[in-house]
Amino acid sequence: MPLSGVRATDELLTHAAEMSDLATEPLELPGVEVLNVMFEIDDQWMQRLLPPALHPTIPPTATFVFWRATEGALGAFQMAQVRAGCRAGVRPRGLPLATWCDSAEASRVLGSRWGFNCRPGQVRIKRNYDRITGIVGDGDRPTLQVALIDPQAISGADVQYTANMNLARVNHEGAMRPWLVQVDPDYTFRRAERGRPVVERFERDQSTGGVMLVYPVSATYTTCDITLPRIRYVSDPEKPAIQGTQSVNA
């Protein structure tokens, strides 16, 4: 019998976006830098991070994902996410627990069209000769700082990113209510590197308090063209995904 999440949906709605509908068109973001750092986390918390629709991965994981976009329809912006590893049915996914973005316009579009739960924040990706660092926070006191140490070139074919399950308030079926919105971007890789993952600072809050890091897993840095997709599926957060998932086209 698979384990399911036990977290109340209301706890995850603090910074949830609102979507007036699900009829969005694809949007390309060219030349985005992506830093992705994964850690195994303490399994005593894994079910308490997720709503009932989702299953924890075994072993449970968390990923720290940074984007830096410099061109495209949304202009320049940087975004960071803390995601809990999960599965919707049998498919690997990531549930964003906290998301920060340094652009009000990008936050508005990403929230209203794809359900990203952005809150304002200073976000940076910084490259040095021996490391690539992702930072969220003010000045000399970051609240989140992760790094890829000793980058080495690899093929983009060796990198796979999992889709998001963004919890948002969505106008669907004639009512505004919470839905998990599946966002599965397409990635065309221009450059890829891997290295040793490090989390140098992680100040937990109400959203991320159950993310207790125990073991480093992987770190990658890529430059890629990202196409944000049409919304194809939504899931009822209170039902197992195998029962509560709906095709948007249907």
Q: Which pLDDT does position 1 carry in this prediction?
A: 67
Q: How far apart are CA 12 and CA 187, in angstroms?
A: 28
Give 199-215 pLDDT, tens digit per residue. Answer: 999 999 989 988 999 99
Q: How many domains does the chain have?
A: 1
Confidence grade of residue 2 (pLDDT, cut at 50, 70, 90): confident
3-state secondary structure of 156: helix
Q: Which pLDDT does position 249 carry in this prediction?
A: 73
pLDDT at 140 over 80: no
Letter for the amino acid at 225? D
Answer yes or no: is 28 within a domain: yes
Strand partners, 175: 172
**pTM (predicted TM-score):** 0.96
Answer yes or no: is 61 within a domain: yes
Give 19-62 pLDDT, tens digit per residue. Answer: 999 999 999 999 999 999 999 999 999 999 999 999 999 999 99
Q: How far apart are CA 126 and CA 131, in angstroms?
A: 8
Answer yes or no: is 3 within a domain: no
Q: In this structure, what are the phi and psi dihedrals at residue 177, rounded to the nearest 5 degrees?
A: -155, 170
CB 81 within 8 A of CB 96: yes
CA dihedral 168→170→175→177, nearest 10 degrees, is: -10
Answer yes or no: is 1 within a domain: no
Q: Which pLDDT does position 218 carry in this prediction?
A: 98
What are 86's two structure tokens?
Answer: 């999960």
Q: Which pLDDT does position 122 carry in this prediction?
A: 95
pLDDT at 187 over 90: yes
Q: What is the CATH number of the domain that holds 192?
A: 2.40.400.10
The boundaries of the domain holding residue 179 are 9-247
What are 185's two structure tokens?
Answer: 């971007």
The mean pLDDT value for 222-250 works out to 93
Answer yes or no: is 70 within a domain: yes
Answer yes or no: is 4 within a domain: no
The long-range contacts involving 172-180, CB below 8 angstroms and separated by at least 24 positions, are 172/21, 172/22, 172/234, 176/18, 178/9, 178/13, 178/16, 178/237, 179/234, 179/235, 179/236, 179/237, 180/51, 180/53, 180/54, 180/88, 180/95, 180/234, 180/235, 180/236, 180/237, 180/241
Q: Which pLDDT does position 143 carry in this prediction?
A: 94
Give 64-103 pLDDT, tens digit per residue. Answer: 999 999 999 999 999 999 999 999 988 999 999 999 999 9
**How many distinct helices (H) and strands (E) make up the chain?**
2, 16
Give 109-134 pLDDT, tens digit per residue. Answer: 999 999 999 999 999 999 999 999 99
Q: Which pLDDT does position 65 carry in this prediction?
A: 98
